[in-house]
Structure 1
Amino acid sequence: MIRFLAISLLIIAVLTSCSLKTTEGLRQVHFNRMEVENPYFSNANIDYVYKAKIEVYKKNFGGILIIKKIGPANHRVVFTTEFGSKLFDFEFEGETFTKHFIVEDLDKKLIIDILQDDFRVLVNESAKVLSVYESKNQRIYKTESNERFNFYFLEDESEKLEKIVNTTESREKVTIDFTSAEAGIAQTIAIKHNNIKLTIDLEKFKKE
């Protein structure tokens, strides 16, 4: 009897540790939608300009981040100081990533890979839906991202994108929170990594 209880408790512990917090308490629903969209950087006529703060392993970088759609599946992401000195310059074209420039303090393979992944999620305009979940006021779309998954949280009535969570099968890795006051433009974006000390905070630049 004691042995049976011990085995049962072990199974429960294993299942609990492997459960994904992102979908905890959510109800999986039938869906007809084949793709979910991220509208925030999809207009080629807009220069998306943000005040930016990037903290990586206790090093802080502040300045201006510009995201520009320059082709059907092509975005340029440039981060400069407030005085115009370039900190990094990346380009995304489909699955191709190009590092045009990066300052020495950030020029580490691990950091570049992380920044590449983060900004690829931001500029990726659509993703194929694998499954759909519901909460009281949100609909959550699960998509595949290389060997991980992205969960898109959309406000139920307006379908405004509020959050993207990047996960493995069992753990949340990155959370991207959006606030938006006007259609198609994110006012603030907060990117937080759960397993490393890297955060990115963006606030839409307001012209004086």
Structure 2
Amino acid sequence: MIRLLAISFFSIFIFSSCALKTTEGLRQVHFNEITVENPYFSNAKIDYVYKAKIEVYRKNFGGILIIKKIAADNHRIVFTTEFGSKLFDFQFEGDTFTKHFVVEDMDKKFIVNILKEDFKILVNESAKVLAVYESKNQRIYKTESGDRFNFYFLDETSEQLEKIVNTSKTKEKVTIDYNSADGKIADTISIKHNNIKLKIDLEKFKKQ
């Protein structure tokens, strides 16, 4: 009897420790949606310009980040200092990633790979829905991202995208928070990693 109770307790502990916090307290619902959309960098007529701060381990980089949609599934992302010196220049074309340039201080394989994955999530306009959850005021769409998952949090009333959480099967890896006045262009974006020292803050550039 004691052995049975011990096994039961161990099983409960294992399953509870593997539970994904992102979906705690949410109810899974039936859905008809095939895809979920991210509208924030989808207009090819707009140059999306942001003041940017990137903290990676003990290094801090500040400047201007420009995201430009060139064509369908094709985005160019350029990060420069405020004086115009290029820090990195990336391009996403479908599943193809091109590193046009990276300044020496950032040109480390693991840093480039992390930035690649972060910005891939940021500019991806559409993702296939695997499951849908609801909370009191949000609707959450689960999508697949390689060997991970992305959870899109949309306001229940306005249907604006407020957050994306990138996870493994058991842990939250990256959180992207959006603040937008119109639901079309993000005024601020915050990208935080849970397991490494990397943070990106973007604020929409306001013309004087």
User: TM-score, normalized by length of structure 1?
Assistant: 0.99
Instruction: Please list the CA deviations of residues 164-183 of structure 1 after superposition, one character each: whole Å capped at 9, or x if unmatched.
Output: 00001110000000000123
> What is the Cα deviation at residue 9 of structure 1?
1.4
> What is the Cα deviation at residue 4 of structure 1?
2.0
- Secondary structure of the residue aligned to 2:90 is strand
> What is the Cα deviation at residue 2 of structure 1?
2.3
User: What does residue 190 of structure 2 align with?
Assistant: 190
User: What does residue 205 of structure 1 align with?
Assistant: 205
> What is the Cα deviation at residue 7 of structure 1?
1.3
CA distance in 1, matches of 2:205, 2:182: 14
Is the CA contact (8 Å cut-off) linking 2:161 and 2:183 kept in structure 1?
no
* Counterpart code for 2:168: T
User: What does residue 59 of structure 1 align with?
Assistant: 59
Instruction: Please list the CA deviations of residues 75-97 of structure 1 after superposition, one character each: whole Å capped at 9, or x if unmatched.
Output: 00000000000000000000000
Which stretches in structure 1 are left out of the alignment for 5+ residues?
none
CA distance in 1, matches of 2:207, 2:40: 19
Instruction: Please list the CA deviations of residues 34-78 of structure 1 after superposition, one character each: whole Å capped at 9, or x if unmatched.
Output: 000000000001110000000001110000000000111110000
Q: How many residues align?
A: 208
1:144 aligns with 2:148: no
Matches within 5 A, 1:106-185: 106-185=106-185
Q: Name segments (4+ residues, structure 1) moved above 3 Å.
A: none
CA distance in 2, matches of 1:5, 1:182: 55
Matches within 5 A, 1:87-98: 87-98=87-98
> What is the Cα deviation at residue 155 of structure 1?
0.2
> What is the Cα deviation at residue 30 of structure 1?
0.4
